[in-house]
Amino acid sequence: MHYVVCIKQVPETTDVRINPETKTLMREGVAAIVNPFDMYAIEEALRMKERQGGKITVLTMGPPQAESALREALSMGCDEAILVSDRAFAGSDTWATSYTLAQAIRKIGDATVILCGKQASDGDTAQVGPGIAMHLDLPQITYVRKIESMDERHIVAQRLMDDGIETVESPLPALLTVIKELNEPRLPSLKGKLNARKVQIVTWSATDLNPDPKCLGLDGSPTKVVRIFSPAPRGGGQMLQGEPDELVTQLVEKLKDVVLAARS
Amino acid sequence: MSDPIQIINDKCVSCGACVRACPFDAISQAERKAIPVIDLTKCTLCGACVQACKFDAILMQAKPAADAGAIAAYKDVWVFAEQHEGRVQSITYELLGEGRKLATELGCRLCAVLLGHDVKAAASGLIARGADVVYAVDRPELAFFQDEPYAAVLVELVRRHKPAIFLCGASTMGRSLVSRVAVPLRAGLTADCTGLAIDPESKNLLQTRPAFGGNIMATIVAPNARPQMATVRHKVMKEAPLDPAHQGEVRIEEVPVELLASRTRRVKFELEVETTLNLSEANIIVAGGRGMQKPENFAMLRELAEAIGAGVGASRAAVDANWIPYSHQVGQTGKTVCPKIYIACGISGQIQHLAGMSSADIIVAINKDPEAPIFKVATYGIVGDSMTILPKLTAAFRAALGK
């Protein structure tokens, strides 16, 4: 069994703002973390390996400094790490990103289960996981909340949909995207941290992936960002004053009509 | 492979215009008279610097020019009609409402695409909501959502009829599905849009969406690819009004049987029963956080929710303490919601929570701590104990609403 976990290094969204004067994105000094949903993907791969053996490869596409995200995954217990990095990837949207990661997974060759976080906290698209599955022509189970059973050829998992929980069986190999409910990620152990330092991270450039150049970076990206701006500030709020009974009366008065309209 | 964007040193006069023009802080100068450097890890190739440079010193790899004829062959605005057990979901009516505006602007038809089994009634319902044409595929294999056949059939229909715009709800179903549609079509796909418009000159679809947890808005285009695909956030757009007199045509489409195959198999589906209301469908949400102190106190939230017809939400802290299931969590690692009213009780308002609810029309915050960040986004703030306020609020609403 070979588990491949796709992760992304993201800025702590808490700190990302637009500079009001220059109107540019301020990313300087913003801490970089492993995308929170990807932590559940790493943890689940570790549990799968503990149950039925095999190997875990953690994979990311990004600039050279994304290596620290891979080291974190290694320190949790992943076996190998691959950084896919090239200036030719600049300007990649979700189409080109999922193509590039799919090419890397092809090169890995023997992936049994591919795990991704549901979405990344910077872009919030949730498009790359299913995109990879499609590029590889693999079945997918999105929003996985529980693995019910698994052997070398099949997996049965529960996925959380808007209106309920669906249990799905899929042949392997397959791609899963995972949500927080699935598990609680472990902290790296001291031994894990020491091991992580020893692992040689493999770096693949564009040419290593044998790609169709038309599918990479700018050329491979049908969408482009033309403008960024700060969201309109919320209108000035109002603090209600008075004793609890007065507060409640004021609030009901303000909300009553909207509640009636919203219920109909 | 050469860099997709380069500064030509011979032409550059180090004026710094590009540094100031870059919206992504991707260009820097080591000192005032130095030739700027572009950081390709930040650059999105938006072209702002190319336009700002008065000396033609920035060379951006040109995208292969769009084949205007091929682009023009794509017409009409399509809306994916999401149905659960034959019932069309309200997000679809919102898409039809927004789709109508776009179709009017482009002078084209508004079409719905409906996959399911025994869908005749649902199809005519879509016409009454403004669809000029409903492309329906009526097969037992499509009775409920399965990623593979749904995606394969949509790819086939898009290739057959060539819509210019394809809209889908940013629901769990929609987001799982459309990426699989966009990949083989090589279409641009934008997630979770909160604003759509037609560019008056190019007639391209301008897709605006929040990024970085809602701290930043981005407008995205796909000028050289068709269809222009987008998922749209629930509850942001206005529903198309019901008009039984509206005329339209239902076209039943046949598709090759191999497109209906699915490698995954549904073992079972359990509707969530815990909630009175599906959180993403709720027009009003009453949510509780750590300030609710213990799980039993969530009963107070549920009582208020019942009195005003609301869904129950929760902060991450409440979910992590196992006071309420994860499916109720609002925020970055939970759900993004956009109700008319959001009542936050004992929620401090961490940025990760705000990311999931700050686009609500009206936000009411009840919190003991007057410094809690939730008050910064609140329309109405009450400094006080939710345990005291909530029962009074429920009683007052019952009286006011005549229940």
Decide if domain B68-260 falls under CATH 3.60.15.10.
Answer: no
Q: pLDDT, tens digit, for every residue of B201-221?
A: 999 999 999 888 777 889 999
Query: Minimal Cα–Cα distance from B249 to chain A, Å?
Result: 30
Q: pLDDT, tens digit, for every residue of A162-187?
A: 889 999 999 999 999 999 999 999 99
ipTM rounded to 2 decimals: 0.93
Range of the domain at A63: 2-215
For chain B, the farthest-separated pair of C-alpha atoms sits apart, in whole angstroms, at 78
**Beta-carbon pairs below 8 A across chains A and B:** 323
Burial class (CB in 10 A: 0-12, 13-18, 19+), B153: buried
Q: pLDDT, tens digit, for every residue of B260-297?
A: 999 999 999 998 765 556 788 899 999 999 999 999 99
- Mutation target among B29, B61, B264, B358 for the A interface, most CBs of A within 10 A: B264
Query: Minimal Cα–Cα distance from B299 to chain A, Å?
Result: 19
Residues of A in contact with B236 (CB under 8 A): none
A224 domain residue, yes or no: no
- Nearest Cα to Cα of residue A67 among A156, A239, A180, A199: A199
- Report the alpha-carbon distance of residue A51 to residue A42 in Å, rounded: 14
- Nearest Cα to Cα of residue A25 among B54, B338, B39, B196: B39
A139, B100, B231 from B184: Cα distances, Å:
15, 27, 17
Total domain count for chain A? Answer: 1
Strand partners, B211: B216
Poorest-pLDDT segment among A28-37, B14-23, B271-280, B337-346: B271-280
Q: Is residue B196 predicted with pLDDT exceeding 70?
A: yes
Of A123, A134, A166, the CB nearest to B184: A134
Identity of the amino acid at A124: D
> At A52, which CATH number?
3.40.50.620
Among chain B residues, the shortest Cα distance to A236 is held by B379
A19 domain residue, yes or no: yes
- Mutation target among A37, A181, A210, A248 for the B interface, most CBs of B within 10 A: A248
Whose tokens are 């700027």? That residue is B36
A253 domain residue, yes or no: no
Strand partners, B88: B83
Residues of B in contact with A226 (CB under 8 A): 46, 206, 219-221
Q: Which helix (H) or strand (E) holds B397?
A: helix B386-401
Q: pLDDT, tens digit, for every residue of B4-36?
A: 888 999 999 999 999 888 877 889 988 888 899
Q: Is residue A204 predicted with pLDDT exceeding 70?
A: yes
Domains B68-260 and B279-401 share a fold: yes
- Look at A131 and B183 and tell me if their CB atoms are within 8 Å: yes
Residues of B in contact with A27 (CB under 8 A): 25, 42
Q: Is residue B146 predicted with pLDDT exceeding 70?
A: yes
The domain locations on chain B are 5-60, 68-260, 279-401
A246 domain residue, yes or no: no
- Look at B192 and A230 and tell me if their CB atoms are within 8 Å: no
- Mutation target among A255, A256, A257, A258 for the B interface, most CBs of B within 10 A: A255
A140 domain residue, yes or no: yes
Of A124, A179, A207, the CB nearest to B192: A124
Among chain A residues, the shortest Cα distance to B381 is held by A239
Question: Rounded to two decimals, what is the model's pTM?
Answer: 0.89
Summarize chain B as % helix, strand, coil (round to 5).
Answer: 35, 25, 40
Residues of B in contact with A23 (CB under 8 A): 23
Query: Minimal Cα–Cα distance from B247 to chain A, Å?
Result: 26
Could you say which architecture CATH assigns to the domain B279-401?
A: 3-Layer(aba) Sandwich (3.40)
| Class for the domain spanning B5-60 | alpha beta
- Report the alpha-carbon distance of residue B92 to residue B218 in Å, rounded: 24
- Mutation target among A9, A25, A149 for the B interface, most CBs of B within 10 A: A25
- Nearest Cα to Cα of residue B212 among A141, A42, A14: A14
- Look at B222 and A260 and tell me if their CB atoms are within 8 Å: no
First and final C-alpha spacing in chain B: 70
Q: What mean pLDDT, rounded, does chain A reach?
A: 93
Residues of B in contact with A181 (CB under 8 A): 326-327
- Look at B379 and A238 and tell me if their CB atoms are within 8 Å: yes
Query: Minimal Cα–Cα distance from A87 to chain B, Å?
Result: 6
Residues of A in contact with B49 (CB under 8 A): none
- Report the alpha-carbon distance of residue A89 to residue A99 in Å, rounded: 11
- Nearest Cα to Cα of residue A229 among B21, B215, B248: B215
Query: Would you state the pLDDT for residue B211?
Result: 84
Instruction: Give me A56's structure tokens.
Output: 């875990």
Angle B135-B140-B143 (CA atoms, 0-180°, nearest 5)? 75
- Contact present, B246 and B132 (Cβ < 8 Å): no
- A220: helix, strand or coil: coil
Query: Minimal Cα–Cα distance from A146 to chain B, Å?
Result: 12
Residues 6+ apart with CB under 8 A from B80: B92, B95, B112, B113, B154, B166, B167, B168, B169, B174, B177, B178
Identity of the amino acid at A261: A
A139 domain residue, yes or no: yes
Q: Is residue A123 predicted with pLDDT exceeding 90?
A: no
Query: Would you state the pLDDT for residue B52?
Result: 87
Query: Minimal Cα–Cα distance from A73 to chain B, Å?
Result: 19
Q: Which helix (H) or strand (E) holds B265?
A: strand B265-271
Peptide bond into A173 cis (omega under 30): yes
Query: Would you state the pLDDT for residue B200?
Result: 93
